[in-house]
Each structure stands twice: as structure tokens, then as C-alpha cells.
Amino acid sequence: MRQLDPQIAQDRKRRVLQWVVQNYIHTSRPIASSIIAEEAGLDLSSATIRSILSELEQEGYLVQPHTSAGRVPTDRGYRFFVDYLENVQRLASGEKEQIEKQYCNRLEELDRVLAHTSRLLSTVSHSAGLVLSPRSEAQGLKRLELIGLGGNRVLAIIVTKAGQVRHWPLQLSFVPNEARLRALNRFLNEHLEGKSIREVRSLLAEQLEQAEREMRELQDFAHTLLGELESAVEPDELFLDGATSVVARAEEFEDTREIHSLVRVLEERKVLADMLQEQFRKQLDAAKAGGAPTVRVMIGGENTLPELKHLSLVTTTYCAGDRLVGLLGILGTKRMEYSRMMSLVEYMGRIVSRSLEAWDVEPEGKPKRIPR
Amino acid sequence: MRQLDPQIAQDRKRRVLQWVVQNYIHTSRPIASSIIAEEAGLDLSSATIRSILSELEQEGYLVQPHTSAGRVPTDRGYRFFVDYLENVQRLASGEKEQIEKQYCNRLEELDRVLAHTSRLLSTVSHSAGLVLSPRSEAQGLKRLELIGLGGNRVLAIIVTKAGQVRHWPLQLSFVPNEARLRALNRFLNEHLEGKSIREVRSLLAEQLEQAEREMRELQDFAHTLLGELESAVEPDELFLDGATSVVARAEEFEDTREIHSLVRVLEERKVLADMLQEQFRKQLDAAKAGGAPTVRVMIGGENTLPELKHLSLVTTTYCAGDRLVGLLGILGTKRMEYSRMMSLVEYMGRIVSRSLEAWDVEPEGKPKRIPR
DNA sequence: ATTAGCAATCAACTGCTTCGACTGCTATTA
DNA sequence: TAATAGCAGTCGAAGCAGTTGATTGCTAAT
């Protein structure tokens, strides 16, 4: 025979690797050379496959659990598989419809949309669904309103442009009557609309020193609200559903200690939320540079959190109006159907973004009721 | 020897059973007669213990996993143990302080208190913590307010007497100016304050037909809000934390199918919430008859949900103001420290009730800041 | 009524063997 | 010289026998 084209050799190797990963994902059993020879349709004998496999192992794409076993992908193997995915598996159009139905174009609050989304991600993927909500601190305000609750109590309500609603009960140091409250409200909205909570904070702290005489109470109020804002800048809110199913499927963990540290991470949320925030920042930068929002996959040990080393994370960004504001995705076994999951996540990102557009668009027509 | 007093015999039996359950809870190993003879301090030989054990087994309090093994409590055994708990294990005062610290007497919204409580229950108990929030439907309103969001959009906000805040964005069929909104607000609050959401619903539906001419818009509004109220009567809200740790500790489950059905119940929440609602109703009735709120324990198969047959549920009611409004508790292995858990749950019930009192009391003084 | 003693049971462990699922190597082939 | 067939080697999984030790139930003695 003539010299084998090295290009063809590479190509063959790639095909084998892909076949191994694909099938390992489905069967969760180590893949043997004979099976590949028989079923992969490469027209090669098992012996040839074996030599290819051993090369792939040397290059770090595969490992053997033990000598007399088939091959299993390493993180690197999965990585290759994901990077060179061909025939991307789209969501079935039935599924799309199912999902779409959940997002009838009804006016909904951001938080409700997000909570719902994380559930949906979880149920469709059979993994954990997660959504990182926008940092409320940075969002522009639409309204800041005070509602009297009797006595010196008021409920401070903030509605952001993206449709997030936050509220804190306050105890003022004076008892405002209705007229006063109204005046306060007007004043606040005139001066604060469009500002971010962060800005509001500094404005309240500084500028209001010079408020008109008759607005003296404002200072008291400002002081109270400031305190609340400070403590109430909630840790970035994370919607997480389906965590239990991830734990339930975690047989493959070597150690029970590993399971428990995973549980801790999933329960405390703080660490997870920080990690996702970091991830969001990265994808934000990438999007600025590259244009369209992309789906990112972190496989096993690629995750910054060691507790997630047996899991993979698939994420994308979503926007409210025209700004990227948050991250959503799924967290599941390394043995997930990457193609489908990536499609799912991408699709959900688009859907969520679209359903959050509504808040910045001018209103029209009657509200639509959803059918049960 | 003289005839053994049957009273003494019963007493001895009880002591043995208690010792078995207690020690099984701690060691999770079947308990052998010899150990009891040596360590329980009953001054009986292992042979005597054995005959006692076999009686207890015949009566259904204990079982043997296999012939040559020690005894393990049945649900009935646990039940006995719980019903005749002596030397109730109080919470360490250090722990109480820890908990107390979390509930500084600050004005907090109901939902935040409850969410926090379920977390706390979970971390202290190392089980799942759960809190069923009051049915917002039945609560009395404190305020119903509309905030204009521009165009025909308003945010409808309901504050209940217990301190729950609910809000829905609405699209009206007309564009209200500020004065109109104010008039609407005044009208609504005058007519609806103190009513429950359920009542509001019927009021809106009927009485407002006869609203003054100039309040014609009200009808439109009412119609819109009605729609929302209908669909937004949220399924009873359930705060649930620590579910993953329950799943992680579920080794003792016979079947993986069992684990998966448990996971489903924990994820979907609906079934769980309904069960807890039912449980709440029962405890409510009991409280009406008996006076003080009590802690209830459901052990394994006693639970109405078959998925929980390997778990135990410890619950109590809490009140907002002077009415019992919700349920809280923990869900964990049958092998839990019942005494401690019951103390914990009872204590948390009291603490939550106390910290929800604030909303009905007349306000006083300056708000307190919590230290970080 | 209690106990000591003893036979019986059975999971858990050990060691041994077989089986078969793989691989890696090597000589052969086209 | 790339691909293959064939074969020896490795090793887990499964099955089996034998041992150990924990624990019981029974019975006869106290």
C-alpha cells in the first residue's frame, strides 16, 4: 500500500474518539475496540482500532479503568468531543413548542420568569437548572415608591427597568401623613429615576444634604433607607432547581466525602453563585469581543470549583432589553448529551431574553390571559 | 424466686426497647443482646435480654435484618420511643443563642423570615428544613396599592397584615394619569382594607358593578386584577432547604427507584406542599381542641406519602399575630435524634411566631440596624 | 424467673478457580 | 508498510468452598 495520508489518519482518530465519547455517554460502560470495529462503521479491524485507541490514550484523551477494560474519555476527551461536535442535535420541535408555551408573551416580573426558567431547564435536562439573576445594584430604577403601612412604617419599593421588584419595610423616625408621603414619592422619583441602586446610594448620602428645608424629613428617610440598602444588597440571587437529582445520580463518585462536599456547595449557594458570577463576567467579556452570546461548556476538572470535578456546566448569557444581564444554564454529569444540552441552553437564553424585552418596549393592547 | 410483678416486667421491656432505639439511632448497627446486657445497666444476662427482645419482636417493635443479626427498630418501635421519650434533650443554650441572634427584633417581611427559617432549620438539623407559608388568599389586607410604571402599566402591590408582600404587573386598558391612580388607590384602600384576597376577589367581581360613574375605569382595572388574582393564587408556598443532604444520606434505600421517586417528590414540591398543607390542617384542629401548639412526628410509613417511608417528619405550627398561620419543621432519616429535633422545631416555632408578632404591634422608636 | 451453656444460623470474609472481556504484541498479508 | 489475524497475557467479575465470628433460640440447671 502507499503511504497513508496523515490527514486521513488524523481524521480516523477523530472519528474513533468521537464514537467512543458518544457511546460512553449513552452506555456508561467502557468502550472496547471490538465494539468499535463492529459498530462504528469504519471498516477497520479491532486490532487497528486498538492501536488507535492506545495512541489516543497516550495523548490523554482516553483512559482504561483497568488493564482488561475498554476505554473511557478523560476530561480532555470530552473537551475534544464538545469542541468538534458535528451534527448538532437540535431540540425536537415538539419540545420547543412545549417550552415556548411556558413563555406566552405576558407581562411578567423578571424574578418570576427566571424562577420559572430554572425549573424548566431542570426538568427538560434532567439535571440541575440554574439562573443567575442580574445584580440589582447595578440596574437602572424605574420607580422608587413608598407605601404607608400605618404609624411610622412604610414599605419602600423599587422597580427596576428590567422588571425586578425589591422591597423593604422601613421604620421611619417620624410619622408621615399621606400628603407628606406623596411629596416624598414625587421628589424621589423626580431625582432618582433611571439611576442605579448604587448611584441612589451615593445620591442619598451626599446630594440630599442640600435638600430643601421642607424636605428635612427626607434626611431621616434617606438615612433609614441607606441602612437597608446597604444590608439588603442581596447576595447575587441564584435560582437553582434539580440539585437533588444531580446528587441522586452521583453514584460514580469515588468517595462519600466527595458527595458531601458537593452537597455543601449546592446547599450554601454562596460559593456556587460567586463562581457563576465569575463565569458570567468571562462570558460578558467574550461577548463584547465576539458579538453574539455563546454557549460555554466547562467539563469536570475545568470547573474552578473542585467539588464539581465530576460534573459539567453548560451556560449562556441572557439579556434584558439590550444589555446582557445574567447567566443561565445547567449542571449535570459529565456524561450528558452535550449537543442537546447546548441547544437547550442556547434556546432558553434566547427565549428568556425575548420575554424580558417586553419591559422596555412601549405597552400596547390588552393583557393576554394564559390558558391553564 | 417470687412471681415477677407484671408492672416491673413491662417497665423492663420498655427500658430495653428505648435503649435499642436510642443506640440504633447513634450507631446505625443492629443491636445485639450481649451489648444491651453489658452496657444498658439493667443487671440482666444476655439470655434474659434475648427473651425480652424476642417478645418485643413478636409485638412488632423490632425486627432482625437476618437470623444471626441484632435487632433494629420498626416504625412502631420508633413510635414508641418518641411517644415515651424521657429526659428530653434540650437545645444547648449556646445553640439557642446562635439561633436567637439570627432573629434580632428587626422589622422583616414574612417571606424573608420564613426563607431564613427554613435554611436555619436545615443547617442546625442536618436534614431538610421546611416552612409552609400562610395561604395568602386567606390573609387580611393591609394595603393594596398601584404604582404607575409608564403607559398603561401598573404594578399592583398587596401587603397583608402578616407582612407578606405580593405584586403583579398589570396592563390596563387605559392610561391612568397620576391623579387617577391616586384616586383609584384611595378608593381601593378605603373599600378593601382588612378584607382577605378571597373577599377582595368577590368584592371586585360584584360590588364594584355599582361603582360611581367617574370610577368606570375601576371596572376595567378590576377585571384585569381579577384575572391576575385568579391565576396568581400561588400554590401554597413552600420553603425547602437541605433536600440534597437528605438524598445524599439515603444509602439505606433498598432501591434506586425509591431514591428517584423521592427526588421527584422533593423537586416537584407540589405534592409535598399539599401533604404539608393537610398536615397543617390537622395540627390546626388539634391546637384548637388542645390549646398550645404541639410538635408532631410522622415516622416512616406513617407518612401519607409512600415516597417518604424511610424518612421522618417533625413539624409544628407557628402564628403571625394571634392566629396560627403556617407549619414548619424538618424532614430527615428515621434515625434522627428525635428529642433534639423536636426541641429544635418547637423552639423555632416559638421564635418565628415571636418575630412575626411585630407586624401587628404598634410601631415604636427607631429601627435597629443589625450588625454584620 | 433467671441464667449458663450449647447448637444452629448466617453474613462477611478469605482464597481459589474459572470465565470471559479486553488489550498489546508479533508475525503475516496484500 | 498499513492493516490484520492470531495469540498470549492481564485482570475484573462471578462462583464456590471453607472459615470466622456474631448472634440467636432453646433447654436444662439454678
Q: Give me the pLDDT at residue B92, please.
A: 86
Q: Tell me how far apart the alpha carbons of residues A276 and B162 are, in angstroms, rounded to a whole number.
A: 35
- Protein residue with the closest CA to the C1' atom of nucleotide C4: B47
Give the model's confidence band at B256: pLDDT under 50 very low, under 70 low, under 90 confident, else very high. confident
- Closest-CA distance, B182 to chain A, in angstroms, reads 10
Nearest by CB to A267, from B170, B244, B366: name it: B244
Q: Which residue, chain included where needed, has cell 384602600?
A: B189
Q: Which residues, 6 or more positions from A208, have their beta carbon under 8 angstroms from its beta carbon? A: A215, A218, A219, A222
**DSSP 8-state symbol, B68:** T
**H or E segment and range at residue A113:** helix A110-125
**Which of A's residues 53-82 have CB atoms within 7 A of nucleic strand D?**
66-69
Q: Tell me how far apart the alpha carbons of residues B322 and B324 are, in angstroms, rounded to a whole number.
A: 7
Interface of B with A in 216-275 (CB under 8 A): 224, 227, 231, 241-248, 259-260, 263, 266-267
- Give the residue-averaged pLDDT of A342-355: 94
Pick out the nucleotide with least CA–C1' distance to B43.
C2
Q: Give me the pLDDT at residue A366, please.
A: 37
Nearest by CB to A260, from B155, B248, B263: name it: B248
**DSSP 8-state symbol, B248:** H
Q: Give me the pLDDT at residue B164, please.
A: 86
Question: Is pLDDT at A15 greater than 80 in this prediction?
Answer: yes
Pick out the nucleotide with least CA–C1' distance to B68.
D23
Q: How many angstroms separate the CA of B311 from the C1' of C1?
A: 40
Nearest by CB to A363, from B153, B155, B243: name it: B153
Question: Do the domains spanning B93-134+236-357 and B137-232 agree at the CATH topology level?
Answer: no
**Which of B's residues 42-71 have CB atoms within 7 A of nucleic strand C?**
43-45, 47-48, 51, 66-69
Q: Tell me how far apart the alpha carbons of residues A267 and A257 are, in angstroms, rounded to a whole number.
A: 15
Q: Which residue, chain included where needed, has cell 440504633?
A: B24
Q: Coil, strand or helix: which one is A363?
A: coil
Instruction: Answer for A70: CB within 7 Å of strand C.
Output: yes
C-alpha grid cell, residue B98: 446562635
User: For helices A75-83 and A6-27, what crossing angle results, to 10°?
Assistant: 110
User: For helices B93-102 and B110-125, what crossing angle results, to 10°?
Assistant: 150
Nearest by CB to A248, from B143, B241, B260: name it: B260
Topology annotation, domain A137-232 = Enolase-like; domain 1 (3.30.390)
Pick out the nucleotide with least CA–C1' distance to B66.
C10
Q: Of A319, A326, A353, A355, nearest to A133 (Cα)? A: A326
The number of helix segments (H) and strand segments (E) in chain B equals: 13, 10
Average pLDDT over chain B, rounded to an integer: 85
Instruction: Answer for A273: CB within 7 Å of strand D.
Output: no
Question: Strand pairing partners for B297?
Answer: B314
Question: Is pLDDT at B288 greater than 60 in this prediction?
Answer: yes
Question: Strand pairing partners for A4?
Answer: none
Do B151 and A224 count as a contact with CB atoms less than 8 A apart?
no
Q: Alpha-carbon Rg of chain A, whole angstroms? A: 27
Q: How many angstroms separate the CA of B246 from the C1' of C14?
A: 36
Nearest by CB to B367, from A148, A170, A247: name it: A170
Q: Alpha-carbon Rg of chain B, whole angstroms? A: 27
Do B163 and A169 count as a contact with CB atoms less than 8 A apart?
yes
Instruction: Answer for B155: CB within 7 Å of strand C.
Output: no
Give the model's confidence band at A175: pLDDT under 50 very low, under 70 low, under 90 confident, else very high. confident
Q: Give me the pLDDT at residue A344, please.
A: 96
Q: Tell me how far apart the alpha carbons of residues B16 and B296 are, in angstroms, rounded to a whole number.
A: 24
Question: Strand pairing partners for B170?
Answer: B154
Report the DSSP pairing between strands B153-160 and B141-148. antiparallel
Question: Is pLDDT at A364 greater than 50 in this prediction?
Answer: no
Contact status, residue B132 vs residue B236, Cβ threshold 8 Å: yes
Query: When comparing pLDDT for B205 and A336, which is higher?
Result: A336
Pick out the nucleotide with least CA–C1' distance to A46.
D4
What is the CATH number assigned to the segment(s) B93-134+236-357?
3.30.450.40
Instruction: Answer for B9: CB within 7 Å of strand D.
Output: no
Question: Is pLDDT at B213 greater than 90 in this prediction?
Answer: no
Architecture of the domain spanning A93-135+236-357: 2-Layer Sandwich (3.30)
Q: Give me the pLDDT at residue B317, please.
A: 97
Q: Of B24, B86, B83, nearest to B53 (Cα)? A: B24
- Give the residue-averaged pLDDT of A288-314: 93
Bases on strand D under 7 Å from any protein CB: 1-6, 9-12, 21-27
Question: Is pLDDT at A232 greater than 70 in this prediction?
Answer: no
Contact status, residue A20 vs residue A7, Cβ threshold 8 Å: no
Q: Give me the pLDDT at residue A285, please.
A: 92
Chain B CA closest to residue A249: B260
Asked if the C-beta of A13 comes within 8 angstroms of chain B's C-beta atoms, the answer is no
Q: Coil, strand or helix: which one is B313?
A: strand
- Give the residue-averaged pLDDT of A272-296: 91
Q: Tell me how far apart the alpha carbons of residues B267 and B204 are, in angstroms, rounded to a whole number.
A: 36
Do B165 and A147 count as a contact with CB atoms less than 8 A apart?
no
Nearest by CB to B248, from A145, A152, A247: name it: A247
pLDDT digits (tens, 9 = 90+) for A180-227: 888 888 878 887 778 887 787 777 766 556 655 555 666 677 777 777
Do B149 and A159 count as a contact with CB atoms less than 8 A apart?
yes
pLDDT digits (tens, 9 = 90+) for A95-139: 899 899 888 766 678 888 999 999 999 999 999 999 999 887 777
Percent of chain B with pLDDT over 70: 86
Asked if the C-beta of B42 comes within 8 angstroms of chain A's C-beta atoms, the answer is no
- Protein residue with the closest CA to the C1' atom of nucleotide C2: B48
Pick out the nucleotide with least CA–C1' distance to B12.
C1
Domain spans in chain A, listed from the N-terminal domain onward? 6-83, 93-135+236-357, 137-232
| A–B CB contacts, 8 A cutoff, strictly below | 115
Which of 3.10.20.30, 1.10.10.10, 3.40.30.10, 1.10.10.60 would CATH assign to domain B6-83? 1.10.10.10
Q: Give me the pLDDT at residue A164, please.
A: 86
Bases on strand C under 7 Å from any protein CB: 1-5, 8-11, 20-26, 30
Contact status, residue B146 vs residue B155, Cβ threshold 8 Å: yes
CA angle A166, A153, B114 (to 5 degrees): 50
Q: Coil, strand or helix: which one is A262?
A: helix
- Give the residue-averaged pLDDT of B51-78: 95
Q: Which residues of B touch A224 (CB under 8 A)?
A: 367
| Dihedral angle sign, alpha carbons of residues A9, A15, A21, A27 | negative
Asked if the C-beta of A153 comes within 8 angstroms of chain B's C-beta atoms, the answer is yes
Torsion of CA B6, B7, B9, B14, to 10 degrees: 140
Pick out the nucleotide with least CA–C1' distance to A8.
D2
Contact status, residue B36 vs residue B46, Cβ threshold 8 Å: yes
Q: Give me the pLDDT at residue B209, please.
A: 61
pLDDT digits (tens, 9 = 90+) for B98-131: 899 888 766 678 898 999 999 999 999 999 999 9
Q: How many angstroms separate the CA of A250 from the C1' of D19?
A: 37
Q: Tell me how far apart the alpha carbons of residues A82 and B99 are, in angstroms, rounded to a whole number.
A: 47
Q: Tell me how far apart the alpha carbons of residues A364 and B173 are, in angstroms, rounded to a whole number.
A: 9
Q: How many angstroms separate the CA of A55 from the C1' of D9?
A: 20
